[in-house]
């Protein structure tokens, strides 16, 4: 029923993800949402985010920030680390994801997406046929319109977890 909103996988933090395994599996590009995925909402780069992004670049990943935010917000986040970005990406439309992949020279089969919201981030990545990774939001303090969406997300995530358990039982 909600499968178009289901992520390929879900994790607690981008800072604990096994990017090395994904690289060995053939992934070469990562599209990141910024706010509440890499840093707290409306926060600049942190030493932790910069270290992760530099490590990914050194591994050979192409990295791009994809956001519905303004150019000012996204550019100010990308410039200190010299990475590409796409602002006003119109998520959940797949067109922004396709443009981002074009900018990196990647394909859906070689691209990961990481974001914290089902209705924009994950739905858009799924529409673009990209491996979607739902990240637990870093900060609980959010704008009202996002808080309202989070209540609906909880219901969908309950179905997602139930489906994941069924699949795990079938593979045993």
CATH of the domain at 65: 3.40.50.1000
Domain count, the chain: 1
Question: Given a cut of 90, is residue 151 above it in pLDDT?
Answer: no
Residue 141 CA to its chain's centroid (Å) = 19
Please name the residue that has the structure tokens 């067109």. Answer: 95
- pLDDT tens track for 62-86: 999 999 999 999 999 999 999 999 9
At 148, the pLDDT band (50, 70, 90 cuts) reads confident
Q: Which pair of structure tokens corresponds to residue 140?
A: 């609980």
Give 65's strand partners: 32, 85
Among 58, 66, 71, 41, smallest CA distance to 143 is for 41
Mean of pLDDT values over 117-122: 94
Are 37 and 115 in contact by the 8 Å Cβ rule? The answer is: yes
Per-residue confidence band for 172, with pLDDT thresholds at 50, 70 and 90: very low
The parent domain of residue 119 ranges over 3-171
Read off the pTM.
Answer: 0.89
């Amino acid at each position: 029923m909600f499968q178009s909103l289901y992520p390929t996988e879900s994790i607690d933090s981008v800072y604990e993800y096994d990017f090395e395994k994904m690289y060995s599996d053939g992934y070469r590009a990562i599209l990141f949402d910024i706010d509440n995925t890499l840093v707290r909402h409306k926060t600049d780069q942190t030493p932790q985010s910069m270290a992760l992004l530099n490590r990914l670049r050194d591994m050979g990943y192409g990295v791009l920030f994809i956001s519905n935010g303004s150019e000012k917000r996204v550019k100010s986040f990308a410039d200190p680390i010299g990475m590409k970005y796409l602002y006003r990406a119109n998520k959940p439309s797949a067109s922004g994801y396709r443009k981002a992949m074009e900018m990196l020279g990647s394909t859906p089969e070689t691209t990961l997406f990481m974001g914290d919201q089902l209705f924009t981030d994950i739905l858009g990545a799924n529409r673009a046929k990209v491996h979607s990774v739902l990240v637990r939001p870093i900060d609980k303090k959010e704008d009202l319109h996002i808080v309202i969406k989070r209540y609906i997300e909880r219901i969908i995530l309950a179905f997602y977890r139930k489906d994941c358990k069924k699949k795990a039982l079938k593979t045993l």
